[in-house]
Amino acid sequence: MLETVDLCVSYGAVKALNGMNLVVPRGEVTAVIGANGAGKSTLMRTLAGLVTPQSGKVLFDGVSISGHKPEDIVRNGMALVPEGRSTIPELTVEENLRLGGLWRNKSDRGASKNVVFDLFPILGERASMRADTLSGGERQQLAIGRALMSNPKCLLLDEPSLGLAPLIVTQILELVSRLAKETNLAVLLVEQNAVTALRVATTGVVLNLGEVVKSGPAAEISSDEELRHAYLGY
């Protein structure tokens, strides 16, 4: 599905990603965890086309998409929910959602909207309200909903736990994980909050200073005490 091959990204002299190899299969959640500055957001921004890699490749369905524009990448089936409040507060909930799939035809959009409202019913109830009236958890649902409106084959979630209560994050992520299984969606989740991320993920990848230090089944990673102490800080 989604694959990176020897991906290198630098900001000036700083190497943010140093030869990263990653495979994100369909139907499950893959979690990339690591401390601040490990290169997690850089990875996501590169995959979404906001940052151009120095070398290496991003393969999507076996086709290289390195250097493609973000608007083309999302139209191709890979949607990023960026870090923080990635909704547009001045628009209504309905408009934020509609924005996510404007290029698609009306009936396809309608179908996706039903999927989103089934997954996050609160968005249906608040459809005509401005996004800035929503709570943090509702906004995160809206941001994910907007990404789902593009009917992605691959969903990228950048640090969805940021600023949210752990219980809400777990609820949202469990819904996403179920959606991944049910609709054969590939989900790449990037998190500083390793406990929550590994709970919903099938595979875990530990990133440190732009390099993968360990990858394997999520349960294995979360039970590896040494790894936890060294890279995850708990």
Partner 1 sequence: MTNFLDYLLGGFSNGAVIALMALALVLVWRSTRMINFAQVGQAMFTTYIALTVQQSTGNWLLALVVAMGAGLILGTIVFFLVIRPVKNSDTTGAIIATFGVLIALQAAAGMIWGGDPEGFIPPVSNAGLEFAGRVWPISLYDILVWTVTAALVVGLTLLFTKTSLGLSMRASAFNPEVARLSGVRVNRMLITGWALAGATGAIGGVLIAPVASISPNSFDILLVFAFTAAVIGGLDSLIGAVTFGIGTGLVISLVSGYTDASNAPVVALVLLTVNLLLKPDGVFGHHGARSV
Interaction site with partner 1 (CB under 8 A): 48, 50, 69-71, 74-75, 79-80, 82, 86-91, 95, 98-103, 146-147, 150
Treating both helix axes as pointing N-terminal to C-terminal, what angle do 136-148 and 106-119 enclose, rounded to 10 degrees?
150
Q: What is the distance between the terminal CA atoms of the chain, rounded to a whole angstrom?
A: 32
Q: How far is the CB of 102 from partner 1 (least distance, A)?
A: 5
State which residue, 21 or 92, has the beta carbon closest to partner 1.
92
State which residue, 87 or 161, has the beta carbon closest to partner 1.
87
Q: How far is the CB of 220 from partner 1 (least distance, A)?
A: 33
Those residues with Cβ within 8 angstroms of residue 114's Cβ, 6 or more apart along the chain or in another chain: none
CA torsion 201-117-70-205 (nearest 10°) is 0
Q: How far is the CB of 45 from partner 1 (least distance, A)?
A: 10
Q: How far is the CB of 159 from partner 1 (least distance, A)?
A: 15
- Structure tokens of 99? 């924005």
User: How far is residue 134's CA from residue 210's CA, in Å, rounded to a whole number?
Assistant: 35
State which residue, 68 or 126, has the beta carbon closest to partner 1.
68
Q: How far is the CB of 6 from partner 1 (least distance, A)?
A: 25
User: How far is residue 173's CA from residue 47's CA, in Å, rounded to a whole number?
Assistant: 21
State which residue, 91 or 213, has the beta carbon closest to partner 1.
91
- Structure tokens of 180? 């991944």
State which residue, 106 or 182, has the beta carbon closest to partner 1.
106
